A and B are shown apart, each in its own frame.
Chain A
Amino acid sequence: MNFITTTKTAIRALRAHLGRSMLTILGIVIGVVAIVLVIALGQGAQDLILNQVQSIGSNTIIVRPGRQPTGPSDAADTILSDSLKQTDVTALLKPVNVPDLESVAPAVLVPSAIAHDNTLFRGTVLGWTPEALGQVFNVNPDRGAFFTADDVRQAARVIVIGNKVKEDLFGDSDALGEFVSVKGQKLQIVGILPPKGQVSAFNVDEIALIPYTTAQKTILGINHFHELFIRAKEGANVDTVVADIEATLRETHNITDPEKDDFFVVTQASVIATVKTVTQTLTIFLVAIASISLMVAGIGIMNIMLVSVTERTQEIGLRKALGATNRNILLQFLIESLILTSTGGIIGTTIAIAIAALVSYIAQTYFNIAWPFTLPLGAIFLGVGVSSAIGLLFGIYPARKAAAKNPIDALRFE
């Protein structure tokens, strides 16, 4: 008995109980949708984050104070640490220390709302250098201009705001030259950024930039930095630059044991590695949970196949009387459960991919998030493969039961 004939017979048997077959398939569909969707969305989310990370540029190096975070307490340490100072910037800028360094942009985070009249905007106020945003993210004001290096030297009371900040605080009226206050300090708007949405870790529309000196002295009254944005020269070996930076900072901080570093270095490569680890761990975890539903669906298959075997005892007996071997019967029922599950697998995978594409479309169209959609080939193979495997796994017991039937008892069965 060849495969095509067996398949035809199986399809006929399944169609005889169409409603029942459909409900059984539904269980598999749900399980496969869950698994494939988790993988597809996980892949999409990972790609989204990686795209943003990559938009920083591979020659961007970030130095943060405190220890490399390995837990929540370390993260607090990073925020509170004041280890990065102007002396560090000066030392890093010396070519003898870090020969392949292009620029250092110290950053100061101001945890405060921006106020105008009685309106508040809760965004991110960042003390930075004028060139940092333009260089790093390729965003420049379309009205007015960035504050200048002179503004930084003099800690000028100036601010560049994102498009949404302007809209929320000023509406349609022109905001250029107007004043806003941050922590009670009046700052004059010298530039407004074009609508740009999410760029890397920042939503450019909701950001406000001031000279880092203004953030330090005028607003926060501190003399340390929260972050150093360093760019290596084009074509430089980033690992070498990182090593140079670490050596320089250890020297200025009088640290001999690298274990006792009061700063840590983040590069694109290290962020990518972290993101991948996190999303992959999360995906495996979610797939494991989704697999439970597939197991339940598999038990449903087994149940319905057992019912089918009992119902068709006579048919099995007849087939054996006409010359079907145990193997013929086993294959017939195995193929039936395989058809059930792989149909469910194909339907489920298709639905999951459609949902993933829809999520990507909605994110891009309505939320302005560059959520990429790539056809998750691995997920397709997994969805169809796993569902077929479920068919074999849970179909083998009913099929063996069918094959083991004694033809006489089976023929007598009424």
Chain B
Amino acid sequence: MALIVIDNVKKVYGEEGVVTAVLHGVSFSVEEGEFISIMGPSGSGKSTLLHILGLLDRPTSGTYFFAGENTAVLSDEALAIARNKKIGFVFQSFHLLARTSVLENVILPLYYSNVPKKDYISKAKIALEHVKLGHRLNHLPHQLSGGEKQRVAIARALVNDPKVLFADEPTGNLDSKTGKAVMDTLDNLHRQGKTIIVITHETSTASYANRIISISDGNIVSDQKSNSRHSHFSK
């Protein structure tokens, strides 16, 4: 079974008269190992879609099967556990804890897992080696460049060995050079078998994916395979 199966997912915000429909019935599925870009202008509903896919929000209607489970029947606590074990997030504004070392930022998801405490540091180090930041363990976030911060965030997303990585505008706060480094890191993870879903409005970032889903006004307008990988950044 596919990793992600959503069927006719709708999301409506607001109550008592003032109702804003953000998603108008979206359906698609994602196989394990895919690298997908979800593209669309701001206000298209792509962030809402990511929140639903990332189990941070629930759809108003429609069904969502994640890793074979119907998410509608899962409790909030079960969703939190699923986020912890099976999902990694990378955000546009990094969301690293200030005054907290790189190592401890990466350990953060392990606190909420059932990983034994003695394995925290070794797991975090492996994740940081993965993003080539093994030499920055005791640095504080404000001592890092934007690209390094985002790679710490990627290491944090990886530390629990999730099934899928969601990245919300991962290059949005970075210049094109560091953005390329971050996307290369994600690309590398994809080659190693991770499922990656990136939300972006930049075609250069989207071009890394092998499948691009375009969304506009809450509807999927196109869903196609892409072969144009690296076309932009490789120049």
How far is B91's CA from A108's CA once the two chains are assembled, in angstroms? 92
Residues of A within 8 A of B108 (CB): 319, 322
Q: Which of A1, A16, A317, A325 lies in contact with B99, CB distance below 8 A?
A: A16
Residues of A within 8 A of B109 (CB): 322-323
B-contact bits for A287-330, CB 8 A (1 contact / 0 none): 00000000000000000000000000011011111111111100
Q: Are B113 and A323 in contact (CB-based, < 8 A)?
A: yes
How far is B52's CA from A75's CA once the two chains are assembled, in angstroms? 82
Q: Are A328 and B56 in contact (CB-based, < 8 A)?
A: no
Q: Judge if A359 is at the interface, Cβ distance under 8 Å.
A: no
Residues of A within 8 A of B130 (CB): none
Q: Are B97 and A315 in contact (CB-based, < 8 A)?
A: yes
Q: Which residue of A lies closest to B48 (CB)?
A: A408
Known contacts being A323-B81, A328-B112, is A318 close to B95, with CB within 8 Å? yes
Q: Judge if A173 is at the interface, Cβ distance under 8 Å.
A: no
Q: Judge if B7 is at the interface, Cβ distance under 8 Å.
A: no
Residues of B within 8 A of A327 (CB): 77
How far is B123's CA from A138's CA once the two chains are assembled, in angstroms? 79
Residues of B within 8 A of A70 (CB): none
Q: Are A326 and B83 in contact (CB-based, < 8 A)?
A: no
Q: Judge if A5 is at the interface, Cβ distance under 8 Å.
A: yes
Number of interface residues of B (CB under 8 A): 26
Q: Are B56 and A321 in contact (CB-based, < 8 A)?
A: yes
Q: Which of B56, B76, B99 lies in contact with A408, CB distance below 8 A?
A: B56
Q: Are A325 and B100 in contact (CB-based, < 8 A)?
A: no
Q: Judge if A118 is at the interface, Cβ distance under 8 Å.
A: no
Residues of B within 8 A of A315 (CB): 97
Q: Which residue of B lies closest to A332 (CB)?
A: B111
How far is B108's CA from A320's CA once the two chains are assembled, in angstroms? 11
Known contacts being A408-B57, A411-B91, A411-B95, is A322 close to B76, with CB within 8 Å? no
Q: Judge if B117 is at the interface, Cβ distance under 8 Å.
A: yes
Q: Are A314 and B95 in contact (CB-based, < 8 A)?
A: yes
How far is B100's CA from A328's CA once the two chains are assembled, in angstroms? 19
Q: Which residue of B lies closest to A414 (CB)?
A: B93
How far is B111's CA from A322's CA once the two chains are assembled, in angstroms? 10
How far is B91's CA from A317's CA once the two chains are assembled, in angstroms? 12
How far is B76's CA from A1's CA once the two chains are assembled, in angstroms? 17
Q: Which residue of B lies closest to A1 (CB)?
A: B111
Is chain A's binding surface mostly helix, strand, loop or mixed?
helix
Q: Which residue of B lies closest to A4 (CB)?
A: B117
Residues of A within 8 A of B112 (CB): 1, 319, 322-325, 328
Q: Judge if A122 is at the interface, Cβ distance under 8 Å.
A: no
Q: Judge if B208 is at the interface, Cβ distance under 8 Å.
A: no
Q: Are B100 and A322 in contact (CB-based, < 8 A)?
A: no
Q: Which residue of A lies closest to B88 (CB)?
A: A322
Which A residues between 319 and 371 are near B, CB-CB below 8 angstroms? Answer: 319-328
Q: Which of A16, A323, A407, A411 lies in contact with B84, CB distance below 8 A?
A: A323
CB distance from A323 to the nearest CB of B (A): 2
How far is B85's CA from A351's CA once the two chains are assembled, in angstroms? 48
Q: Which residue of B lies closest to A2 (CB)?
A: B117
Known contacts being A2-B117, A407-B56, is A321 close to B99, with CB within 8 Å? no
B-contact bits for A366-408, CB 8 A (1 contact / 0 none): 0000000000000000000000000000000000000000011
Known contacts being A328-B112, A407-B56, is A320 close to B80, with CB within 8 Å? yes
Known contacts being A2-B117, A319-B108, is A324 close to B80, with CB within 8 Å? yes
Q: Judge if B156 is at the interface, Cβ distance under 8 Å.
A: yes
Q: Are A325 and B80 in contact (CB-based, < 8 A)?
A: yes
Residues of B within 8 A of A16 (CB): 98-99
Residues of B within 8 A of A407 (CB): 56
Residues of A within 8 A of B81 (CB): 323, 325
Q: Which residue of B lies closest to A410 (CB)?
A: B56
Q: Judge if A196 is at the interface, Cβ distance under 8 Å.
A: no
Which B residues between 94 and 133 are near A, CB-CB below 8 angstroms? Answer: 95, 97-100, 108-109, 111-113, 117
Residues of A within 8 A of B51 (CB): 408
How far is B117's CA from A2's CA once the two chains are assembled, in angstroms? 9
Show 28 A/B contacts (Cβ-Cβ < 8 Å), sorted by A. Answer: A5-B117, A314-B95, A315-B97, A317-B95, A320-B56, A320-B83, A321-B83, A321-B95, A322-B84, A322-B89, A322-B109, A322-B112, A322-B156, A323-B81, A323-B83, A323-B84, A323-B85, A323-B109, A323-B160, A324-B112, A325-B76, A325-B80, A325-B112, A327-B77, A328-B112, A408-B51, A408-B56, A411-B56
Ordered nearest first, which 5 A-B pairs have the shortest CB separation? A323-B84, A323-B112, A325-B80, A322-B109, A1-B111
- Residues in chain B within 8 A of chain A (CB atoms): 51, 54, 56-57, 76-77, 80-81, 83-85, 89, 91, 95, 97-100, 108-109, 111-113, 117, 156, 160
Given contacts A16-B98, A315-B97, 11 further A-B contacts (CB under 8 A): A16-B99, A314-B95, A322-B83, A323-B84, A323-B112, A323-B160, A324-B112, A325-B81, A326-B77, A327-B77, A328-B80
